[in-house]
Chain A
Amino acid sequence: MKTSADSAHGRNEAMAIRVQHMTKSYGNAEVLRGIDLEVRTGEVISIIGPSGSGKSTLIRCLNLLETPSGGTVEVLGSLLFDRDRIAVGKNELRDFRSRAGMVFQSFNLFPNLTALENVSLGQIHTLGRGRAEADARSAELLARVGLAERMDHRPAELSGGQQQRVAIARALAMDPEVMLFDEPTSAIDPELRVEVLQVMKQLADDGMTMIVVTHELRFAERISDRVVFVADGCIVESGTPAELFGGAKSERLRQFLAAVEETEL
């Protein structure tokens, strides 16, 4: 029989991310002014909003690449940040980061290593897998993102779309429980974006918990369970894609959507 404490605990575990009143300032500039966000396990969340609205800062605070200035951040059951300080030790933070995959706007592959080596490096040195096992897993992942033929190429010999797919494979190789995407297609030629978006769509369909900061509104509409609109460091509006794109409640979001539509003509 389930007690109420059990079910409360169960709810807790199903919550992948819980952010409360998170703020971030650089000196006098307030970039985030009190963000509240909850993401359930298996949920796909897109964060949209104008440039400079704090979207990237928000996602970078989720694995403490940026240290928030206030509030609490709880991810995958670890309380990472509590009010004014990082609440985890170095080892705990390392362990946590290996469970949260991050994909960057500028790919950030290691240019001195081949695609395969890029994907294997973390498996070998962080997870302690043997080289053969790691390379086998890397090859499998690279094949999954459509790069079986390019495993021995260095990043400089790959297109942006290909590099980003390697970066996704590199993050997946750590067997993460949540994937953070920071504008994954913004630095890629429009024609090549679709190959990255397809990989992400597949990942979403497979049930991965995903947070995606993106400017691709149609893509956000298609893959997200929920869309969050951020402007001026606040979450202005959030809801299902239909709610946000169908009938924006706030004037700010209407403006934003109208402006985007205009540029897409």
Chain B
Amino acid sequence: MNILWQLLQTVPSTMLLWAAAQVLGLVLAIPVAAARMSRERTLRWIALLWIEVTRGIPTLVLLFIVYFGLSINDFRPPAMTAAILALGLSSSGYLAESIRAGFEAVPRQQTEAAMALSLPLATRLGRVLLPQALPIISEGVVSYAIHLFKETALASLIGVIEVMAVANYLVERGVNGPTVFLFTGAIYLVGCLLLAWLAHLIGDSGSRKRGKTQRGATIAAVKKVEVA
């Protein structure tokens, strides 16, 4: 019980890393997605490069690049900051693609209808496209958020004191390995289940508001896009 307690004490730090990286990822992903869908070729190209690089480099490698890259002479960046930065960066590519998939799932005719009414860009995005893209964007964001929650464990390798770091510490101190890691795994599992359950609750109330048929149709459309 003592083991579990010691592990649980660092859950807030895992949560902080997870939430901050997720927010940073989203903040970066929005302009990247906008650039990816831009009419400007150069912008599209830069966005594509960003997406491929951040998705193509393993998160662990990215973590080391950021941590050691920021270490100049004797200076070491705070491990937590470096971890948030690295995880945020690696999220941004995936999240940008989720945002793009959401917007591309909205039928082109919706844009045409908005143009025929001369709706200003802000209205077209805010009242027409975004509300229809959001269910699909949130699916991508939620599934990545769950993935990211597990990836926070990597941060122990640069010395962030979170759940995985404590688990390693306990094992080094001679506590039975399988027991410690079973508990550790259970903590991550419960966290993921809670996240999925929360997302389900939010999504459910959202789709009731929007009407189920539309949501089903849009998701079917996105599946088609993904297959193609």
Contact = CB atoms under 8 A, between A and B. Distances in A.
B105 to A, nearest CB: 12
Interface residues of B, number: 21
A16 interface: no
A126 B132 contact: no
Interface of B: 107, 109-110, 112-120, 123, 127-128, 131-132, 210-211, 213-214
Q: Specify the main secondary structure of chain B where it touches its partner.
A: helix
Given A95-B118, A98-B118, A108 B127 contact: no
Contact of A112 (B109, B120, B123, B210): B210
B119 A122 contact: yes
Given A65-B112, A106-B109, A111 B214 contact: yes
Nearest to B214: A111
Nearest to A100: B116
Contacts of A156: 211, 213-214
A125 B127 contact: yes
A65 B127 contact: no
B211 A108 contact: no
Interface string A19-36: 000000000000000000
Contacts of B112: 65, 104, 108
B109 A104 contact: yes
A146 to B, nearest CB: 22
A118 to B, nearest CB: 9
Nearest to A156: B213
B120 A126 contact: yes
A218 B218 CA distance: 36
B115 to A, nearest CB: 7
Contacts of B210: 111-112
A126 B210 CA distance: 24
Interface in A116-132: 121-122, 125-126
